[in-house]
Amino acid sequence: VPIQPIRKIAISTGGGDAPGLNAVIRAVVLAALQKGWECHGIRDGYNGLLDPTAYPEGGVVPLTRASVAGITHLGGTILGTTNRGNPARFPVPQPDGSYVEVDRTDELVERFQAAGLDALVTVGGDGSLSIGYLLARKGLRVVGVPKTIDNDLDRTFMTFGFDTAVSFATECLDRLHTTAASHRRVMVVEVMGRYAGWIALHSGLAGNADVILIPEIPYDVEKVAETIRARQRNGRTYTVVVVAEGAREVGGDFTVQGRAVGQAERLGGVGEKLARQLEERTGKEARTVVLGHLLRGGSPTSFDRLVALRFGAAAVRALDEGQSAVMVSLAPPTVRYEPLKEAVRRMKTVNLDSDTIETARELGICFGD
């Protein structure tokens, strides 16, 4: 079947935001315009198409050179995003206050085609990319761009947003060292990352943490307590602990805050729990800092800006080459394409045989094992 020429494409940003999304949007728009294509932005994931009445100013908006001027360095996404608008499991409120999840993907494909859109660039994490793959299977031309501060996407060396999150967490650790030392305290710093320990591992190492707890290595509280006591015996009167929100004790469960309709499990709270356990076991005062959404905000680092711009331009190049159902991927020193199907197959967690883990162990950092 001959491929229809592209005249009009759409871009959508979905899931939790990440610094660098606007840089992707800018690159997609400018590269598309250069090819003579029109580029439109869908508001809030796919909600702009699925629920247009909620957008008096338009659920799908034309993106011009002016709309993307001066946004490379801005955090967030000018299109908006959502992590509760999965069109395959769309939450529909019922009269009794409950929700029923319905599959609206066929409707989405119809609306996409009715709007005269020839192809979609979907920027997102595993959720949005899985939806992108589903839409590609239903006939849309789709290119995915991997985004998440968690860095847990497979088939790409790194996602944009991660470097910014790690840089900020590292700066926070630098600041916490001095106050921890002044007060001879244990400082527990909880970072995001879902079920992967990338942010905790990289910021913990760069920020000189004494203990790093990640989901990939279930921890024993007593081992952490003993590290604190041993440091004390050696005249090191304070300890900085980085704990990933998805870390858990050996044989224990994830610490969760609950689950909202249409959303994934919300992790959080392990830091405070651990601080209390450590206080009890060591007799030292412990404080908790939860970095949370601070890790998702702010200006992208130059590394993330560059990756995001390269990803955006590469997505347009892929469409121009007639590719579909692929994800743009960072494979230093270049950018290449991976089948979306493969990219969403599994989560990328920290490889315990990696030299980064080995380095941390050689520096004497405790993983609680």
The catalytic residue positions are: 150
Burial class of residue 89 in the structure, from the number of CB atoms within 10 Å of its CB (0-12 exposed, 13-18 middle, 19+ buried): middle
Rounded CA separation 90/99 (Å): 9
The Cβ-side half-sphere exposure at 177, using a 13 Å CA radius, reads 14
- Give the nearer residue to ligand F6P in terms of CB position, either 180 or 300: 300
129 touches ligand F6P (CB under 6 A): no
- Give the nearer residue to ligand F6P in terms of CB position, either 134 or 196: 196
150 touches ligand F6P (CB under 6 A): yes
- Give the nearer residue to ligand F6P in terms of CB position, either 186 or 350: 350
Paired strand residues for 290:
190
215 touches ligand F6P (CB under 6 A): no
Q: Around Cβ 106, how many Cβ atoms within 10 Å?
A: 10
DSSP letter assigned to residue 255: -
Q: Around Cβ 153, how many Cβ atoms within 10 Å?
A: 26
CA 11, 140, 7 angle in degrees (round to 5)? 60
Find the shortest distance in angstroms from Cβ 23 to ligand F6P: 18
349 touches ligand F6P (CB under 6 A): no
Give the phi and the psi of residue 187 in degrees, each rounded to 5: -110, 115
**Closest-approach residue to ligand F6P (CB):** 192
Q: Which of 50, 200, 267, 326 binds ligand F6P (CB under 6 A)?
A: 267
- Give the nearer residue to ligand F6P in terms of CB position, either 38 or 245: 245
Q: Which of 14, 16, 41, 87 binds ligand F6P (CB under 6 A)?
A: 16
DSSP letter assigned to residue 268: -
Query: Going residue by residue from 295 to 324, which x/- string records binding to ligand F6P, judged by CB under 6 A?
Result: -x----------------------------
**Radius of gyration of the chain from its Cα atoms, rounded to whole angstroms:** 22
Q: Which of 14, 59, 80, 193 binds ligand F6P (CB under 6 A)?
A: 193
Structure tokens at 21: 């999304």
Coil, helix or strand at residue 369? coil
Find the shortest distance in angstroms from Cβ 235 to ligand F6P: 36
Contacting range for ligand F6P; rule: CB under 6 A; set: 29-37, 174-182, 192-200, 203-211: 192-200
Find the shortest distance in angstroms from Cβ 166 to ligand F6P: 12
255 touches ligand F6P (CB under 6 A): no
Single-letter amino acid code for the residue at 111:
R
- Pair type for strands 326-331 and 142-146: parallel
Residues that bind ligand F6P (CB under 6 A): 16, 83, 125, 148-150, 192-194, 245, 266-267, 296
